[in-house]
Amino acid sequence: MKALVYETFGGPEVLDYREIADPIIEPNEVLLRMKAIGLNFADVYRRKGNYHLEGKPPYILGYEGAGIVERIGADIRGIQIGDRLAFADVPFANAELVAVPMDKAIPLPETISFEEASSVLLQGLTAHYLTQDSYAVKNHDVVLVHAAAGGVGQLLIQIAKLFGGKVIGLTSSKEKAVAAKEAGADCVFLYSDDWKLAVLEETDGTGVDVVYESVGSTLMNSFAATRVGGTVVFYGMAGGDPVSIDPRMLMDTSKTLTGGDLWNVLTSLEQRVSRSSDLFRWMEEGKVRVSKPTTFALHDGQEAHRYLESRKSTGKILLIPLNGESI
């Protein structure tokens, strides 16, 4: 099979599209012929060597995608050759063929395309647990979403609106502000503005009920924009490390700081299927819309990584194997 691999850590130039051996599936695995593969910042961090990697080179990036079952292991039940499946947490996805464990195989409805599934699963499941587990958004809650034009940001907006929240978005440019508004944000402020003051003015000086904080370096301003008794959900640091928090501040303001990590909730097939089914149903009902992704051929992986790192994209970036097709 063809795959996008790398032998050493570095920039996009270390990626090489070449022939390697097909995966050998275990009895509890299926072999999936990939139709679409999600590209995420975690892939960039792994390529640079910032994340721990097991095994020896050549390394293969990618954890998210969708395709068609080509072979099934001896212990597999309930899955047939030709079935449509997707996954959010299976390694070595940047290849034509991927070995997918049974407990990570998510059935894909005919109403959801391979590209849609690969665009929504990792980021959509993240938005799902953030709005349901880290802080359950309720009717009339005022929600502040950082990086509102990004993949997770746009989904956070839509799901928060779905549960009756009013959403304020933060973006880095006017172009991205348009994308956040199109996703359903009630108002959007730019990071270049005095956004903390703008948020307080928008909430009559009270502050928001919850902040979804993914920038890191903005953590203290997020607290300042949160009402007494409100919550800051910290789930990323794309803009730099956060400062240390004095718990006395939390005590004095009755505010809550909580963290969020998808892998603490996505621990079983039941959780994967249940949460994915919510996403797919909302998409089928038109309540959650996935913006059209930017697609690159898998053999153009270097170019795709450069585009992702440029931060020019406002939606998902997908890699399409030569055997794949847009559906």
Per-residue pLDDT reduced to its tens digit, 93-136: 999 999 999 999 999 999 999 999 999 999 999 999 999 999 99
Domains detected in the chain: 2-120+266-320 (3.90.180.10), 139-260 (3.40.50.720)
Residue 61: both structure tokens together: 């990036």
The region of weakest confidence among 42-46, 183-187, 198-202, 308-312 is 308-312
Is it the case that residue 6 has pLDDT exceeding 70? yes
* Residues forming a β-bridge with 295: 318
Binning pLDDT at 50, 70 and 90, where does residue 292 land? Answer: confident
The angle formed by the CA atoms of residues 326, 323 and 152, to the nearest 5 degrees, is: 45
Going by C-alpha positions, the residue among 282, 319, 327 that lies closest to residue 36 is 319
Question: How does pLDDT run across 212-263, given as a tens digit for each residue?
Answer: 999 999 999 999 999 999 999 999 888 888 899 999 999 999 999 999 889 8
Q: Looking at 184-246, list the stretches that DSSP marks H as alpha helix, in order from N- to C-terminal side.
A: 195-202, 219-224
The pTM for the full model equals 0.91
Per-residue pLDDT at 326: 44
Binning pLDDT at 50, 70 and 90, where does residue 211 land? Answer: very high
Q: How many residues are recorded in the chain?
A: 327
DSSP assignment letter at 95:
B
The angle formed by the CA atoms of residues 120, 88 and 100, to the nearest 5 degrees, is: 135
Instruction: Kindly report the backbone phi and psi dihedral angles of residue 57, in degrees, each rounded to the nearest multiple of 5, phi listed first.
Output: -65, 155
Going by C-alpha positions, the residue among 149, 179, 65 that lies closest to residue 115 is 65
Which one-letter amino acid corresponds to residue 41? F
Cβ atoms 79, 85 nearer than 8 A:
yes
Cβ atoms 84, 116 nearer than 8 A:
no
66-78 mean pLDDT: 96
- The residue written with tokens 């072999």 in the block is 31
CA distance 194 to 148: 17
| 159 three-class SS | helix
* Residues forming a β-bridge with 101: 29
Average pLDDT of the chain, as a whole number: 94
Residue 41: both structure tokens together: 């910042």
Cβ atoms 85, 114 nearer than 8 A:
no
Per-residue pLDDT at 323: 63
| Helix 114-129 with 269-284: angle, nearest 10 deg | 110
CA distance 99 to 30: 6
Residue 43: both structure tokens together: 């892939």
Cβ atoms 162, 287 nearer than 8 A:
yes
Going by C-alpha positions, the residue among 256, 326, 304 that lies closest to residue 116 is 326
Give percent of the chain above pLDDT 70: 98
* Residues forming a β-bridge with 232: 211, 257
Instruction: Kindly report the backbone phi and psi dihedral angles of residue 287, in degrees, each rounded to the nearest multiple of 5, phi listed first.
Output: -85, -25
Per-residue pLDDT at 314: 67
Is it the case that residue 34 has pLDDT exceeding 60? yes
How far does the chain reach from its first CA to its final CA, in angstroms? 22
The angle formed by the CA atoms of residues 17, 22 and 28, to the nearest 5 degrees, is: 130
Question: How does pLDDT run across 134-155, given as a tens digit for each residue?
Answer: 999 999 999 999 999 988 999 9
Q: Looking at the chain, list the stretches that DSSP marks H as alpha helix, in order from N- to C-terminal side.
A: 41-48, 114-129, 151-162, 174-183, 195-202, 219-224, 247-253, 269-284, 301-309
* Residues forming a β-bridge with 142: 166
